[in-house]
Amino acid sequence: MDFPYEVDSKERGYYWGTRATDTRKMFGFAPENMPQNAETSVDRDGNGFTAKGEFEAERPFLGMSAQLWSETVRTDEQFEYMVFPRVLAAAERAWHVADWENPYKVGVEYSQDTNLVDKDALLADWTRFANVLGQRELAKLEKAGIDYRLPVPGAVVKQGELAMNIQFPGVALQYSVDGENWLDYNDEQRPSVTGEVWVRSKSASGNLFSRVTQVQ
């Protein structure tokens, strides 16, 4: 929980174990078949790696935990930002074995080049989960007074038109052409923009916002 959500110097956290761990990566973790993660993840330098089942025990991995060390966390707000909402993905993986999680087998090797994981099933499962978060669970967190992290939108300007998307469907998007005044984004009526553009996401209540980023 103390690793950055994404590869950006503005995100809090160390990266000795992984360069970034967002909610989707945590959702796709296979706690009872550790080698499988080599097919769906990369190392901290962004490179693929190989892992193989080498333990003879029938169940060498007995679940998972999600810790947060406090070297870079100083306030309750920082704690909640680092933990929520990705702890919900950790909870999902801890209690439920998904169809795309392969059983552990000695000698089976995984890497970016193998095709042993049902990635279509993983994507479909994640899509359902992300929709539930964006359209229901995030509002519950806010109602409970939790300052959770809203994802930074993806954005690109092509031929003078701004296109935006978001990790959690249902989360509102905003853009600004001066960095101060914000307009709601409508994907069905993509705005025409020139010059600098800033983007952010906002909660359903309009009281929480993501980190602001400038579209390059």
What is the CATH code of the structural domain delimited by 154-214? 2.60.40.10
* 210 or 63: which leads in pLDDT: 210
pLDDT at 70: 86
**Least confident segment among 7-16, 24-33, 149-158:** 7-16
The one-letter code for the residue type at 150 is L
> pLDDT (tens digit, 9 = 90+) per residue, 159-196?
999 999 999 999 999 999 999 999 999 999 999 999 99
Residue 211 CA, chain-centre distance (Å), reads 14
* 159 or 17: which leads in pLDDT: 159
- Percent of the chain with pLDDT strictly greater than 70: 100
Residue 62 pLDDT greater than 90, yes or no: no
pLDDT at 71: 87
Which DSSP symbol is given to 28? T
Which tokens hold the place of 201? 């996401």
Domain boundaries, the chain: 23-143, 154-214
The one-letter code for the residue type at 12 is R
pLDDT at 80: 97
Residue 216 pLDDT greater than 80, yes or no: no
pLDDT at 56: 85
Phi, psi of 189 (to 5 degrees): -135, 70
> pLDDT (tens digit, 9 = 90+) per residue, 101-140?
999 999 999 999 999 999 999 999 999 999 999 999 999 9
Please check whether residue 108 is in contact with residue 39, taking contact to mean a CB–CB distance below 8 angstroms.
no
Which tokens hold the place of 48? 């693929």
Residue 148 pLDDT greater than 90, yes or no: yes
Phi, psi of 54 (to 5 degrees): -125, -5
Write down the mean pLDDT value for the chain: 94
> If 0-12 CB within 10 Å is exposed, 13-18 middle and 19+ buried, where does residue 164 land?
buried
Say how far apart CA 56 and CA 59 lie, in whole Å. Answer: 9
Residue 58 pLDDT greater than 80, yes or no: no
Give the pLDDT band of residue 81 (cuts 50, 70, 90): very high
Count of C-beta atoms within a 10 Å radius of residue 197: 21
Say how far apart CA 145 and CA 48 lie, in whole Å. Answer: 39
